[in-house]
Amino acid sequence: MIEQTAKAYATRKEFYRQFGRKSRGAQMRRRFLKNKTAVIGMILFLLIVITAICAPLIADYKGVAIKQIRSERLQPPSARHWLGVDEMGRDVLARIVHGARISLVVGILAIGVSLLIGGTLGALAGFYSGWVDNVIMRAMDVFLCLPDVLLALAIVASFGTSQVNLIISIGLAFTPKMSRVVRAAVMSVRSNEYVEAARSIGARNGRIILRHVLINCIGPIIVQVTLYVANAILTVSALSFIGLGIQAPTPEWGNMLASGRDYARDAVHIVMAPGLAIFFTILSLNLLGDGLRDTLDPRLKQ
């Protein structure tokens, strides 16, 4: 009898279809799509990503983005230069579009690095607790005494300011926070009954962490990762703004702001464009993160 039932509902989808219920994924999707802010955030972010990917199609890097035409310096937006021309005679739109690539790549990869290191440490600390937890978290506490911008600053200062170094520095700077998030998520799941159940049927620790714990705490982690990517992008441009990040002539929103600020009085478009670019990128990720949180944890939705 039971076997027959099991066979009849061999796939979960089939089970849900039979009982007229939507699968968990479908429910989540519906809830996410119902959340207006989340959808707006996602669309905005996807647009930015697509722009970054298509940057070379929009404007040639060598031919436009870093090409200086002295005669056109500080020109306001026009049909030829949609966002105007900067203080060195470079097309602002081209630089914004190419800058998106750098911001996104550095921001996302940096959080990837922190997820790899901080996530592993946090999962270990959360799962094993006891002295492992103590050692890891006390170490992280030390780093948490330094704000992430400052930590990134210090690391960048010693590594140098190449793009790879920036990724590593910012990644390391976000590691302590990330480890805390993962640890908290793991700990909240670890004590649940199904983990006990898995243990009781003799599953090994590695399997439990992967199959049961991480799967179930992925929600809060995704939410935080989204918000941290926003923070990381902000950090990249902040570092570039103070001259310790991406260096000119490579276009980056932060260094565009830094080099354009002295001309802002006469040509506002120079600081408007990169500022708004950063703002909308961060906003899109914040909207997306908030929306994901509401979707994954409907309890918190107000």
Partner 1 sequence: MGGSSYPPLRAIYKSTERVDGMYKYILGRLIVLVPVILALTFVVFTIMYFTPGDPTAVILGNEYSEEASSHLKAQLGLDKPFFVQYVNYVAGLCQGNFGMSYITRAPVGQQLSARFPNTFKIVIAAMVFTVVLGIPIGVYSATKPNSVFSNITMVVGLLGVSLPIFWLGLMLILLFSVNLGWLPSSGMDHGFKSIIMPAVAVGANYMANVMRTTRSSMLEAVQQDYIRTARAKGVSRGAVIRRHALPNALMPTITVVGMNMGALLGGVVLTETVFSIPGTGRMLVETIKSRDTPSVLGCLVIMALCVAISNLIVDLIYAYIDPRIKAQYKKEVAQ
Q: Which residues contact partner 1 by CB under 8 A?
A: 37, 139, 141-150, 153-155, 157-158, 160, 230, 234, 237-238, 241-244, 254, 257, 261, 264-265, 268, 271, 274-275, 278-279, 282-283, 286-287, 290, 300, 302
What is the tally of helices (H) and strands (E) in the chain? 14, 0
Nearer to partner 1, 178 or 278 (CB): 278
Q: How far is the CB of 155 from partner 1 (least distance, A)?
A: 6
* Phi and psi angles of residue 256, each rounded to the nearest 5 degrees, phi first: -65, -40
Q: How far is the CB of 200 from partner 1 (least distance, A)?
A: 31
Nearer to partner 1, 91 or 294 (CB): 294
Q: How far is the CB of 261 from partner 1 (least distance, A)?
A: 6
Q: How far is the CB of 235 from partner 1 (least distance, A)?
A: 9
d(CA 57, CA 199): 54
d(CA 267, CA 86): 8
CA angle 235, 240, 246 (to 5 degrees): 110
Joined tokens for residue 203: 């599953």
Q: How far is the CB of 140 from partner 1 (least distance, A)?
A: 11
CA angle 122, 214, 17 (to 5 degrees): 160
Cis? peptide before 249, omega within 30° of 0:
yes
Nearer to partner 1, 172 or 214 (CB): 172
Nearer to partner 1, 10 or 145 (CB): 145
The one-letter amino acid code at 133 reads D
Q: How far is the CB of 119 from partner 1 (least distance, A)?
A: 21
Nearer to partner 1, 43 or 157 (CB): 157
Is 121:175 a contact under the CB 8 Å cutoff?
A: yes
Chain center to CA of 23: 28
Nearer to partner 1, 20 or 130 (CB): 130
